[in-house]
């Protein structure tokens, strides 16, 4: 069994029941999606209400797709976020990190080992599959990576595994990849945007009881 406590982020929180399950079962991060084409999108006003209910010790992550400064200013003016999770270029991610003074997590779409970065200039990289060509969003598609690709991979920077994880496969994903942190959205839902408290409980438990290989 792994002696390291796997970090868990539950993304795409839109309602109180999902948020309460994250707090009850010990998520480390909760994510709010500010991408209008996502079924998990919430506006800043709704995020403000939910964020105010998050207990100390759990960090609030705002997810943005190619945001401009005005998008970020509008949300950050209303919602008390701790971390920005971005789908953008590395150059823009660093610019945002410097300008807004919050830790940035950058999505890295991976199709083969050649896509795995050698280094990171933001706080954390989110390693996830390249989206399908016809996808309407760059993540949250319940699509998984070939985890074998990450076996034995030990970068010197913080990273997190995402994409197609669920309560049934997260233990194997952690065991195969050695990921110290995982991120899930679709795999703990009853419908897009509606979280399943029981699945959140099982996901967090199974992420932390995997046998790392």
Ligand X SMILES: O=C(O)c1ccccc1N[C@@H]1O[C@H](COP(=O)(O)O)[C@@H](O)[C@H]1O
| Per-residue interface string for the shown chain with ligand X, residues 1-30, x marking contact by CB under 6 A | ----------xx------------------
Per DSSP, the three-state class of 109 is strand
CA distance 208 to 108: 24
Strand ranges in 97-138 using DSSP code E only, listed in sequence order: 104-110, 124-129
When asked if residue 183 is in the footprint of ligand X (CB under 6 A), the reply is yes
Site for ligand X in 106-165 (CB under 6 A): 126, 128, 137-142, 162-165
| Per-residue interface string for the shown chain with ligand X, residues 63-102, x marking contact by CB under 6 A | x-x---------------------x---------------
Residue 145: CB minimum distance to ligand X, A: 10
- Burial class of residue 36 (count of CB atoms within 10 Å of its CB; 0-12, 13-18, 19+): exposed
Per DSSP, the three-state class of 158 is coil
What does DSSP assign to residue 198? H
Give the nearer residue to ligand X in terms of CB position, either 3 or 206. Answer: 206
Residue of 185, 143, 164, 197 lying closest to 41 (CA atoms): 185
Residue numbers of the site for ligand X (CB under 6 A)? 11-12, 31, 33, 35, 38, 40, 63, 65, 87, 126, 128, 137-142, 162-165, 183-187
């Amino acid at each position: 069994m792994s002696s390291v406590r796997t970090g868990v982020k539950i993304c795409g929180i839109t309602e109180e029941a999902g948020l309460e399950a994250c707090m009850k079962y010990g998520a480390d991060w909760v994510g709010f999606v500010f991408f209008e084409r996502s079924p998990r999108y919430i506006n800043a006003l709704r995020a403000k209400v939910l964020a105010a209910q998050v207990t100390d010790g759990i960090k609030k992550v705002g997810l943005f797709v190619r945001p401009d400064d005005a998008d970020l200013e509008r949300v950050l003016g209303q919602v008390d976020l701790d971390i920005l999770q971005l789908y953008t270029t590395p150059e823009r991610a660093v610019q945002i990190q410097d300008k807004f003074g919050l830790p940035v997590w950058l999505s890295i779409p991976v199709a083969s080992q050649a896509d795995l970065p050698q280094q990171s200039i933001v706080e954390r990289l989110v390693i996830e599959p390249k989206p399908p060509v016809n996808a309407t969003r760059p993540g949250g598609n319940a699509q998984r990576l070939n985890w074998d690709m990450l076996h034995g991979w030990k970068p010197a920077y913080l990273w997190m595994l995402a994409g197609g994880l669920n309560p049934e496969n997260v233990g194997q994903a952690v065991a195969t990849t050695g990921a110290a942190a995982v991120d899930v959205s679709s795999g703990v839902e009853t419908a897009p945007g509606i979280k399943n408290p029981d699945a959140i409980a099982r996901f967090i438990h199974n992420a932390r009881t995997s046998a790392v290989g």
